[in-house]
Amino acid sequence: MNFLSLKYHLRWQTADQTLDYKLAVRCCVYFQLLPPVVYSNARILRAYCQLDSLIMIVYVIVIIASVIQLHAAVIRDAVMELFPFSDDSDTTTAPTMTYGANPVPYVTRDFWSALPPKRIEHFAGPIPYVIIHHSYRPAACYNGLQCIAAMQSMQKMHQDERQWNDIGYSFAVGGDGHVYQGRGFNVIGAHAPRYNNRSVGICLIGDWVADLPPKNMLTAAQNLIEYGVRNGLIAQNYTLLGHRQVRTTECPGDRLFEEIKTWPHFDPMTDIVDQNSV
């Protein structure tokens, strides 16, 4: 029942008289116009109205939250276009890889203070496979300071906990739209079993199971691939795969995987190997 739309009949009784108040109440704020003596006799009515208002507010909040969650990626992209995230680490001074009119903002290992690799092994190119990943953890980063911390965190985990030579990926892409150098082109990685010596592994930093990465991340990843092709580092007829196509994993996340299916050179093939393989 919506108490805000009812007409209430209030009775206030004193020792020698009875006063009737017939009120058309449509909003609890109307009670602020009544004499104070009525408040003491209308506490229950006011409580009902306040409860009804609270319930309506909760309904509105739930609806708004549901809409935001449903369209989170669209809203995030719109906000980022209107109010770009600041780059606290000033990665705007980082070098760029350029092809045609499309520069790829590029953050070198020195710039993000990478630790030295334990070992470097090269392989010949052009590279026939491009494999897309998400980090899942660390979470998405949206400025240089956050993305540098994410790169350092991944390298530490890969070198210390997994005992790998270096960060596993060839490159990573941050929510600031920058490409971060991992092992680089033509260096054997640790990101896809049996493909580490014939692929470039690109990780989009964040968890992209339910949400789509921001547009600037997707654009940076595609520009990086195009840069590799135009400079003879990636084969002209390369094959694009998601990590889950070569290993039992949900990487690169359902939402991102659906996105890369629309990219050039995507191949729906699967070549799953043992989970314990590197």
Percent of the chain having pLDDT more than 90? 58
CA 118, 142, 265, 273 dihedral sign is positive
The Cα 167–Cα 118 span in angstroms is: 10
pTM given for the model: 0.66
Separation of alpha carbons 216 and 175, rounded Å: 7
**Residue 68 confidence (pLDDT):** 73
* Residue 91 DSSP class: G
Higher per-residue pLDDT: 41 or 137: 137
pLDDT band (50, 70, 90) for residue 16: very low
pLDDT, position 23: 42
How far is 44 from 67, CA to CA, in rounded Å?
35
Q: Looking at per-residue confidence, does 86 or 214 come out higher?
A: 214
Q: HSE of 53 in the Cβ direction (CA atoms, 13 Å)?
A: 12
Q: Where are the domains of the chain?
A: 17-81, 96-261
Please state the CATH superfamily assignment of the domain spanning residues 96-261 in this structure: Peptidoglycan recognition protein-like (3.40.80.10)
| Structure confidence at residue 66 as a pLDDT band (50, 70, 90) | confident
Q: What is d(CA 243, CA 157) in angstroms, rounded to the nearest whole number?
A: 19
Question: Which residues have C-beta within 8 Å of that of residue 50, sequence separation ≥ 6?
Answer: 28
Q: Phi-psi region for residue 234, left (φ > 0), alpha (ψ -120 to 50) or beta?
A: beta
The per-residue pLDDT for 76 is 57
* 71 or 214, higher pLDDT: 214
SS3 content of the chain, % helix, strand, coil (to 5): 35, 20, 45
DSSP state of 213: P
Instruction: Compute the mean pLDDT over every residue in the chain, rounded to the nearest whole number.
Output: 80
Q: Give the pLDDT mean for 44-72.
A: 73
What pLDDT does 28 receive? 45
CA atoms of 224 and 106, how far apart (whole Å): 9
